[in-house]
Amino acid sequence: MTSPLEFIDVALPNARGTVCDLTVPPHQVVAVSGPEDSGVGGLGRVALGLEPPRRGRVLVLGEDIAALPRAAALAFRRRVGYLPAGDGLLQNLSLYDNVALPLRFGTGLAEREIEGRIRIILTMMHLSDVGPARPAQVNDEQRRRAALARAVAFDPGLVILEQPFDGLTDRVAAELLEVARGGVSAGGSRRTVFITGQNLPHLLRQRVDTRYRVVGQKLVREA
């Protein structure tokens, strides 16, 4: 089976010239962490072709997005759930409309179907009460929940999360990771999750299948 995400000899954007060479197996949770200046934070962007790698290439679902023409790259990204660092929510839309945006833009679903799906997701994320609120009107945790809800709204097979747990309690982080993994996806199995960040909360270490850490020039697999 093709690996959903593969970094082949990718140079991280840091002064040490760390090389990232790893494969994310299907239906597993893989986390890469490292200090702020390690360049780990940009791996998600590199994977999605938002930033060209200094060296090497990244295969997402077997495709090098960075090498695709723009329109094809955009269409391909709609198959991947993405939670950017911060949250990336559009400030002029309500949380409800933020979560609905990828469905409205990228699927041919009727508005009623989208509405039904969003209501389920918002309930699952404990956001039903604040659905009509703008991102600036809710707290950090609710914004992060909404951003994750948006990333998984169309039930992608692969989810890329950039610093998703910063500032959250371990309990909330564990809950969000479970949502990201999904009970079952459209294919009848768990999603593949790729996480980048500076530190992984303690409670989550047991729940992540493979952990890597940037140490100097090397990407070290943690026990």
Partner 1 sequence: MTRRVSRLGALARFFWDALVSFGTLPRAGRRVARRVLLNQVWFTAVQAVPLVIVLSGLLSFLVISQAVRELGRLNATELLGTLMVVATVRELGPLLTALAVAGRSGTAIAAELATNKVMGEVDALEGMGIDPLHYLVLPRLGAAVVSVFCLIVLFDAIAIVAGLIAAAANGMSPDRYFDIVLRSLAFGDASVSIAKAIVFGAIIGTLPSFHGLRVRRAATDVPIAASRSVVGSIVAIFLCSALFVAVL
Residue 188 found at the interface with partner 1 (CB under 8 A)? no
Alpha helices in 28-94 (DSSP H): 43-47, 70-77
State which of residues 17, 62, 92, 169 lies at the interface with partner 1 (CB under 8 A). Answer: 92
Residue 107 found at the interface with partner 1 (CB under 8 A)? yes
What's the token pair of residue 126?
A: 């404990």
- For 185-203, b/e burial (b = at least 16 CB within 10 A) is beeeebbbbbbbbeebbee
The window from 21-29, 89-97, 202-210, 215-223 that contacts partner 1 (CB under 8 A) reads 89-97
Residues 6+ away with beta carbon under 8 Å from 215: 34
Contacts to partner 1 from residues 27-86, by CB under 8 A: 44-45, 48, 50, 70-71, 74-79, 82, 84-86
Closer residue to partner 1, CB minimum distance, 37 or 222: 37
Residues 6+ away with beta carbon under 8 Å from 204: 31, 165, 170, 173, 174, 177
Place of tokens 């990407």: 219
The window from 28-36, 97-105, 178-186, 215-223 that contacts partner 1 (CB under 8 A) reads 97-105
Beta strands in 12-150 (DSSP E): 19-24, 29-33, 57-60, 80-83
Minimum distance from CB of 187 to partner 1 (Å)?
A: 20
Residue 144 found at the interface with partner 1 (CB under 8 A)? no
Applying CB under 8 A, the residues found at the interface with partner 1 are 44-45, 48, 50, 70-71, 74-79, 82, 84-92, 101-102, 104-109, 150
